[in-house]
Amino acid sequence: MVVCKFFQQGNCRYGQNCAYEHVYGSKYNYYANAPSQPNKPQQTGVTDEQLVNQVQSDVQAVLRGGQWILSSYAPFKEMPSFPGIINLSPEEARLLIYDATSNNNLDQVISYINKVVKENRSKYEQLLQPNANIINTLRSIYKGETPAEPFTSTVNAGLISNPSSLFRSAAQNTPVFNQSATPSIFSQNTNAFSSSSVFAQNKSIFGPQNNQSVVNQGQGIFAQSQETAAKSIFAQASQNIFGPQTSTSNQNQNLFNTQSPSSIFASANQNIFGPKETQNAFLSQTQNTNVFQKSDSSTVSPNVFQQAVVADSGVYSKMEDLQEEDLEMYRSEEFTLGFVPEMPPPHSLCF
């Protein structure tokens, strides 16, 4: 996070491996030879070579740095990802393995994941030596067009290029990603609701609010509530719950071993869907017809969604006073060194 002074002077020896942040200074103190920058002010000004250099240095860092390879990659900040790269989080990969362990098809799943890794690695490697198709795709992404997938696939891409298929297949109970057989846990209970008119009329919890309480609560969002302070939230505080259960799981290697799968809506007295409870729970809402009544904005403290509109138009430039170059700069997400406008932005580009 510390800004590298040498970089701003144009002579940092460490380049992209520098421990300090490479941030361009203003155009007045910048001397370095401009490296390939993703956000050039004029789109015509960027060459294929610059685009390719940018991508090569990113991809080189990914491959040599040992980065998680099942990651999407965007050649340019705030632009779409490069198409065709498989996206799977470490947690998704982990779950596939855990499921496979309990389903005894570990070898199958490991070879599957290895195939996906290999596929992605080969795509990253193709980005290092881009062919004409890849360069075209880079250019489309850069221009904000919808890019076409340029990769020549080495393995069975049809199966694995769509990562969501992994979990879709899980729902369909295919042998590879076998999961619980019941797709909808609530399915047995839906009948109860369809016959209950109480729920049909009052599905929403976002009921109208009491303005009085909004004022109080709105100001007190960050205040501490004292009322429950003294009471212990544990009924059986002295009970040592970890003891026996820990030893059980020690003996059992099966990662998926949990307590016996209990009925979803435990016991009768727990059942909040019972008629008596229902009546109580929704008593206050039965009069409400407008379930999503909008809150009265005057009672709510100002926040991030309410932007102050500056009435004084004098602080803005008129569109016609600005050069095309400056406008371009204000339209882009980031200023580029050497092109920082000296005039204030126009009103229309500020909101």
φ and ψ at residue 21, rounded to 5 degrees: -80, 130
Is 2 near other proteins (CB under 8 A)?
Answer: yes
CB 127, CB 55: distance < 8 Å = yes
Closest residue by Cα to residue 151 from 122, 185, 175, 171 = 122
- Quick one: which of 5, 34, 48, 110 contacts other proteins (CB under 8 A)? 110
Size of site (CB under 8 A) for other proteins = 119
Q: Burial of 179 by CB count in 10 Å (0-12 exposed, 13-18 middle, 19+ buried)? A: middle
What contacts 272, CB < 8 A, 6 or more positions away?
278, 281
State the Cα–Cα distance between residues 130 and 151, nearest whole angstrom. 10
Q: Which residue has 């799977």 as its token pair? A: 88
Q: Which helix H or strand E contains 159, and what residues bound it?
A: helix 157-160
Closest residue by Cα to residue 325 from 343, 310, 351 = 343
SS3 of residue 170 by DSSP: helix
Please, what is the minimum distance in Å from the beta carbon of residue 171 to other proteins?
6
**Within 228-247, which residues bind other proteins (CB under 8 A)?**
228-230, 232-237, 239-242, 245-246
Is 284 near other proteins (CB under 8 A)?
Answer: no
Is 104 near other proteins (CB under 8 A)?
Answer: no
CB 208, CB 293: distance < 8 Å = yes
**Within 145-204, which residues bind other proteins (CB under 8 A)?**
163-164, 167, 170-171, 180, 183-186, 189-190, 193, 199, 203-204
Nearer to other proteins, 81 or 153 (CB): 81
**Within 40-59, which residues bind other proteins (CB under 8 A)?**
58
Is 286 near other proteins (CB under 8 A)?
Answer: no
- Quick one: which of 11, 89, 173, 279 contacts other proteins (CB under 8 A)? 89
- Quick one: which of 12, 128, 157, 300 contacts other proteins (CB under 8 A)? 300
CB 333, CB 39: distance < 8 Å = yes
Is 251 near other proteins (CB under 8 A)?
Answer: no
Nearer to other proteins, 132 or 241 (CB): 241
Amino acid at 148: A
Is 258 near other proteins (CB under 8 A)?
Answer: yes
**Within 306-325, which residues bind other proteins (CB under 8 A)?**
307
SS3 of residue 317 by DSSP: strand
What contacts 178, CB < 8 A, 6 or more positions away?
99, 103, 105, 170
Please, what is the minimum distance in Å from the beta carbon of residue 156 to other proteins?
20
Nearer to other proteins, 132 or 235 (CB): 235
Please, what is the minimum distance in Å from the beta carbon of residue 8 to other proteins?
14
CA angle (118 as vertex; 114, 119 as ends), nearest 5: 120
Nearer to other proteins, 132 or 182 (CB): 182
**Within 13-32, which residues bind other proteins (CB under 8 A)?**
14, 17, 19, 21, 23
The interface region with other proteins, picked from 43-51, 134-142, 153-161, 331-339 by CB under 8 A, is 331-339
